[in-house]
Amino acid sequence: MRFIRDIHAEKQASGKPTISFEFFPFKTPEGEATFFGKTLPALMTARPDYASVTYGAGGSTREKTLEIVERIQNDFGLTTMAHLTCIKHTQAEIGGILDEAARRGIQNILALRGDPPSGEEWAQTEGGFEFASELVEFLRERGGFGIGAAGFPEGHIDCAEGRETDWRHLVGKINCGADFVITQMFFDNADYFRLADYLKGQGVAVPLFPGIIPVANAGQIKKFSAMCGAKLPESFSSRLDELGDDADAVREYGIEYATGQCRELLERGAPGLHFYTLNKSKAVLQILANLGLA
Ligand code: FAD
């Protein structure tokens, strides 16, 4: 498998966007069978450039991440990045996970601080890292991995000083050695372009991949956005309210909205698209088809 920075450089040289899909570890054998038997084969028809698999916040799915990444790489030949979080890990444990990742042929890590499980406050583990930048630095010093980091177009929800302070921290994190940044989901492209301009102004040259979520369920997206601080524009939110319980109409609207977002992002220079697939294939495939990219 390859470093994502090299995959992206190649796509960029050919004038094409880098397309990636994010998955989360399934909790049941049925979920696993559906993912490997149907969802992933369907998504592979879009010829993605890479995938990534999330890391549960102190939860039971943590040990699954490396296993799933390895299986996607081995069975589907798709470069896949493992997410890794600082929370509830000592440096020694992180070192052990990285050794295991290397043993499994994993070459890319998304270095994150992580969020505490619901109901718990964030707390640095004794002997662990406080910020994702320290994990980036640890990875860079260790060597052997391509490194991604998270960025927040609206500023990170915990950063009380506001988004520019958070973006300053992001620049620090990139300077510790991140190869690229993937953003949290957002629904107003102006937020993405503001962050992209800020980074450019700071002399940052690494790609900023926009994170796109196709909305399939109004209640779910309102919950996600409240949790992570991504605001829903008034017109978007009221359209979802109008569609109410009509699940098909919400899905169609979600595809239409995300298609419009992606089209403008690519036209105005975004280097690629990172889809939060929620382990589903139809909406993402439809969006890519609408864009002429599937
Ligand atoms: P950091 O970069 O450490 O930032 C955390 C906070 O600390 C921010 O408010 C920042 O402004 C502040 N900060 C940073 N550096 C400093 C400093 N030097 N001094 C003072 N303040 C500072 N979570 C999971 O649990 N598992 C996942 O798999 C996962 N995948 C994700 C994928 C993407 C693409 C994104 C965008 C997020 C993901 N998350 C995941 C969520 C992420 O872990 C949380 O949003 C977390 O709260 C912040 O992580 P971070 O890596 O950006 O942290």
| Secondary structure string (H, E, C) spanning 90-137 | CHHHHHHHHHHHHHCCCCEEEEECCCCCCCCCCCCCCCCCCCHHHHHH
The predicted-structure confidence for 58-104, as pLDDT tens digits, reads as follows 566 778 999 999 999 999 999 999 999 999 899 999 999 999 999 99
Active site residue 234: no
**Residue 225 and residue 281: Cα distance in Å, rounded?**
21
**Residue 4 and residue 6: Cα distance in Å, rounded?**
5
Tell me 117's DSSP state.
P
Higher-confidence position of 54 and 62: 54
pLDDT of residue 57: 62
Burial class (CB in 10 A: 0-12, 13-18, 19+), 79: buried
* Ligand 1 lined by 266 (C-beta under 6 Å): no
What is the total count of domains within the chain?
1
Q: What CATH number is attached to the domain comprising 55?
A: 3.20.20.220
Please identify which of the residues 22, 70, 134, 154 carries the catalytic annotation. Answer: 22
Higher-confidence position of 23 and 224: 23
Which H or E element spans position 188? none
pLDDT confidence bin for 115, thresholds 50/70/90: confident
**Residue 86 and residue 130: Cα distance in Å, rounded?**
7
For residue 150, report the distance from its CA to the centre of ligand 1, in Å: 6
* Ligand 1 lined by 114 (C-beta under 6 Å): yes
- Could you tell which of 131, 138, 275 is best to mutate to test the pocket of ligand 1, judged by most ligand atoms within 8 Å of the CB? 131
Is residue 125 a contact partner of residue 87, using CB atoms and an 8 Å limit? yes
* Ligand 1 lined by 57 (C-beta under 6 Å): yes
* Ligand 1 lined by 139 (C-beta under 6 Å): no
What lies within 8 Å, CB to CB, of 103 at 6+ separation is: none
Residue 180 in domain: yes
Residue 225 in domain: no
Residue 246 in domain: no
6, two tokens: 């090299």
For residue 184, report the distance from its CA to the centre of ligand 1, in Å: 10
Residue 203 in domain: yes
Place of tokens 């081995």: 74
Q: How many CB atoms lie within 10 A of CB 106?
A: 25
* Ligand 1 lined by 83 (C-beta under 6 Å): yes
Is residue 115 a contact partner of residue 152, using CB atoms and an 8 Å limit? no
What lies within 8 Å, CB to CB, of 206 at 6+ separation is: 174, 178, 179, 180, 181
Residue 243 in domain: no
pTM of the predicted model as reported, rounded to 2 decimal places? 0.97
Residue 223 in domain: no
Residue 231 in domain: no
Residue 244 in domain: no
Q: Whose CA is nearest to atom 49 of ligand 1?
A: 113
For residue 180, report the distance from its CA to the centre of ligand 1, in Å: 14
- In which domain, by residue range, is 93 found? 4-217+251-289
The predicted-structure confidence for 256-283, as pLDDT tens digits, reads as follows 999 999 999 999 999 999 999 999 999 9
What lies within 8 Å, CB to CB, of 247 at 6+ separation is: 216, 217
Question: Looking at the predicted structure, is the pLDDT value of residue 284 above 70?
Answer: yes
**Residue 229 and residue 186: Cα distance in Å, rounded?**
9
Phi, psi of 200 (to 5 degrees): -60, -45
**Residue 184 and residue 212: Cα distance in Å, rounded?**
8
* Ligand 1 lined by 8 (C-beta under 6 Å): no
